[in-house]
Structure 1
Amino acid sequence: MALLQAIPQPKPGLHLIATSPSLQHETGTTLFKPTQFTDFTQNHYDINSVDAVNGTSETPIGFDPFMTNVSQGLQSSQYNPYAEEHNPLAGASASYYGAQNTFSTPSQPLQYHLYYPLAPIRDTLQPYQRAVFDLFLPESLREDLQKRSEAARQVLASQPGVQSPSLQQYHSLVPLDTKLKNAPGIFGLPTWVWKANSRKNGNVYCLRRVEGFRLTNEDAIKAVNSWKKITHPNIVTTVEAFTTRDFNDSSLIFVHNYHPLSKTLAEHHFPTTTNRFSRTAPVPEKVLWSYLVQLSSALKVIHKAKLAARCIDISKVILTDKNRIRLSACSIYDVIQFEGHRRTEDLQQEDFLHLGKLMLSIGTNTPLRSTHDLRAVLDQFSRSYSSDLRERVDWLLSAPQTQLKTAEQLICDLATHIDDVCVASFNAYDEATIHLGRELENGRLVRLLAKLGTINERPEFDGDPNWSETDHRYTLKLFRDYVFHQVDSHGNPVLDLGHIISCLNKLDAGTEEKIYLTSRDHQSTFLVTYRELKKQVQAAFGDLQKGNTKQQQQNSRGF
């Protein structure tokens, strides 16, 4: 493995320095090629899919969790992810999105491990030495972010006779449900979940369709306006709601923020496929405390706005990150049950009861139904968890005695455990700051490389075909060779990422360190500092900017 370490400067008379061994990137070895299947219909979702709705971070590369009867295989032919034309290898269209696939995906699974450590880490590294992957995001975090981006960009390919509906300004609908049939859920009506893009701002949103709902009161849809004002890290933000007949019926559409690769707590804690010979381990108590603190914080904001959540159900609380949950599907009950005229105070007290049932269901690994004896389930719950947690769940399940329960009271009772959640959150924040700091350094180098790339080997500028080969631009060309085109004593290319990053950092800082540059024919030599090279880069790039501004002015005048 190439190590990034202090690199001695070249001595006069030497062209390039032989440094560490070559750094090889891992390239793809398989080709993604899904097979053909029938036209898309809503009733073709596979409820027995191993993966959860909207995918998971453990989804294998090339597996599509959304549709049924899709058998996807991997070819054994060699694939070059850097080639512009893949027809000789793939035997298919070279476009990024293949028209023959129901789900339009890249012709090759993304290479998530381009900087993955190729060998075990040595514990004998010196303080000034770094491994290659120490300069970038951790491979697990980078892979997760790339999968989220890929899930957000996934679209349905057009097929003859199959047309995805376009709802007002929302287009490119992709189903996120794996339901086999449109059975009524907790709302009493069949619902479907979609991902769609907005024509207004280009963002991706989550659309929840309530099938067969007929709006009889125009004031009901206005109830969504109160939810649009609520912004909380544990609540999925409501964007808008509208009615449509684009599905050949009367449907109600709710638009929420989209969180890729999220899944419900029901899918996370009650997977559809389990090993019948293994016993499910109880959920750690710290996880339950974290759930309780986050949902209590969400209820505090909701109740303070004179609203009630009404959707604290294991199928409507989504897991968007490690132990990070959010209340989804808020505001739906307020619209479809607008004629109920129930007191908000009574609905808020039901929120505490539903929260208690949620904790019981997860703690006992038992989906609760109306026929369950809550006291018996609570006794089972107390066998696995502390008396402190049992008392909090008991308080949530019990009816209010002298005064109504409040979210503020619940938050005060959870003060000790809120501290644990805050510590974990701050630690995650510090870790993210460290990773962003690495990417900040990489961003500086990318901007510097962009400047060098526009200067070096430019065919012609300002009527001079030798512009990039004269004056200080010629020195920058020699510096390019010094950084990127080193060879060893046998003339073999030397690929040392440490040398490249070290030189670019010194150039960006403009240090006083001197380097010895020589031409390829050894006829010209220069002894310059990084500060002088930095001034030369700024001067040459400034000339290009002036030329670009002059051309824009001429175009604006009609020349």
Structure 2
Amino acid sequence: MDNGINPYADPGDGIMDYDLSNPMDLFYTGQASFVREPLNYHLYTQPRPENLQHKYFVSDELREELQKRSESIYITPPSGLDLPEETQGYHSLVPLEPVVGERHNFSNWHSTVYKAINSMDGFPYVMRRIENFRLISESALSGIKAWSRIRHPNLVAVKEAFTTLAFNDNSLMVVYDYHPNSETLNEAHLKSKAPQFINGRLQTQNTRVAERTIWSYVIQIASVLKTVHEAGLAVRVVDDNKILVTSKNRLAS
């Protein structure tokens, strides 16, 4: 039955005169907030047929790990952190550690680690921000430039360093290569882990490290030390909180 009302008419013609500024008006309810749930990565790709379970296909575990890393690269920061939109060509900053409460120290300064995207190449990098750092002379960055020239598969490469006022203070930013979903050596092997349900029973997790894994770590760390010393630099402290486990038994310090 035709009642003379056009449901597709423009709201400004008087037929459907809704107040668009009122968030409670029809069709314009306030924006809802959602709690982000962990993704079920196995939903993205169906299991392989039994007759194709051979070495030419990526394992389910490796596929899940790659999807987790991809999610980490493109994750966006939560609202309300008041982070700068851009600093020295880096944008989309996301904190990789708490920015309030218990803070990590870098020597005598507070520091925070962020993930950011470089506007020039589009790649993600890690930026360590050292707060309230006053640079006396540009020559003070010569040490960082020396580290940026070192290339080693078990060393987190340094890209560059610069100062910025984008955080409303004098901050020193040191940019490194990004290894998504990495853990520190302490988190991976030394820190006590919460019990997990295994076969329906709550069991403590085994933190014992296999001997072959320990030897692999020793060789990788020794190789980095040798390369650094050959470059005329020094590693004064080997800290388990500064060494990353980037993948299975693979270190980057």
Query: Normalising by structure 2, what TM-score?
Result: 0.74
Q: Is residue 206 from structure 1 mapped to residue 132 from structure 2 by the alignment?
A: no
What pairs up with 1:509-528 in 2 under 5 angstroms? none
Equivalent of 1:254 in 151, 174, 185: 174
> Do the aligned partners of residues 268 and 110 (structure 1) sit closer, same or farther apart at CA in structure 2, a change above 3 Å counting?
closer
Q: Distance in 1 between matches of 2:207 and 2:251?
A: 21
Match of 1:147 among 68, 82, 85: 68
Change (3 A) 1:139 1:183: closer
Residue matched to 1:301: 227
Instruction: Identify the residue that residue 318 of structure 1 maps to in structure 2.
Output: 244
Cα separation, 1, equivalents of 2:250 and 2:76: 27
| Aligned position for 2:45 | 114
Could you tell me whether the CA contact under 8 Å between 1:116 and 1:133 is conserved in 2? no
CA distance in 2, matches of 1:100, 1:289: 49
Q: Which amino acid aligns with 1:261?
A: N
Residue 212 of structure 2, aligned match among 277, 286, 296: 286
In the TM superposition, what are the counterparts of 1:1-150 in structure 2 within 5 Å? 100=33, 110-112=41-43, 114-117=45-48, 130-131=51-52, 136-150=57-71
Q: Runs in 1 of length 4+ with deviation above 4 angstroms? A: 98-103, 108-113, 132-135, 277-281
- 2 CA distance for matches of 1:132 and 1:287? 28
Distance (whole Å) between structure 2 residues aligned to residue 181 and residue 311 of structure 1: 26
Paired amino acid for 2:69: R
Q: Which has the larger radius of gyration?
A: 1
Q: How far, CA to CA, are the matches of 2:231 and 2:142 in structure 1?
A: 15
CA distance in 1, matches of 2:189, 2:76: 29
Seq. identity, % = 37
Give 3-state SS (helix, strand or coil) of 1:144's partner. Answer: helix
Using the TM superposition, give the Cα deviation of residue 140 of structure 1 relative to its aligned residue in structure 2, in angstroms.
1.3
Match of 2:94 among 153, 174, 185: 174
**Which of the pair is proportionally richer in helix?**
1
Task: Measure how far apart 1:316 and its partner are.
Answer: 0.4
The alignment's TM-score, normalised by the length of structure 1, stands at: 0.35
Q: 1:112 to 1:319 in 2, by over 3 A?
A: farther
Contact persistence 2:77–2:95 (CA under 8 A) = no
Unaligned stretches of 5+ in structure 1?
1-97, 122-129, 328-559
Measured against aligned partners, the alpha-carbon deviations of 1:185-225 in whole angstroms (never above 9, x if no partner) come to 35232111100000011010000111222112321112211
Q: Which residue of 2 aligns with 1:164?
A: 83
Is the CA contact 2:129–2:173 (under 8 Å) kept in the aligned structure 1? Answer: yes
Q: 1:183 to 1:111 in 2, by over 3 A?
A: closer
**Secondary structure of the equivalent of 1:301?**
helix
Larger strand fraction of residues = 2
How far off is 1:141 after superposition? 1.1
Q: Residue in 1 aligned with 2:19? A: none
Say if 1:144 and 1:279 are closer, same or farther in 2 by CA, change over 3 A: closer
Corresponding residue number in structure 1 for 2:153? 233
Aligned residue in 1 for 2:105: 185
1:348-389, CA deviations, whole angstroms, 9 ceiling, x for partnerless residues?
Answer: xxxxxxxxxxxxxxxxxxxxxxxxxxxxxxxxxxxxxxxxxx
Give the 3 Å change call, closer, same or farther, for CA 302–134 of structure 1 in structure 2. closer
| Alpha-carbon separation, structure 1, partners of 2:121 and 2:44 | 32
Instruction: Return the alpha-carbon distance in structure 1 between the equivalents of residues 116 and 205 of structure 2.
Output: 39
Number of aligned residues: 216
Q: CA deviation at 1:102?
A: 8.6
How much has 1:150 moved relative to structure 2? 1.3
Q: Give the number of the structure with larger relative contact order, counting CA–CA contacts within 8 Å between residues 6 or more apart.
A: 1
Distance 1:284 1:132 in 2: 29
Q: Report the AA paired with residue 114 of structure 1.
A: T
**Taking structure 1 as reference, are residues 142 and 225 closer, same or farther at Cα in structure 2, changes over 3 Å only?**
same
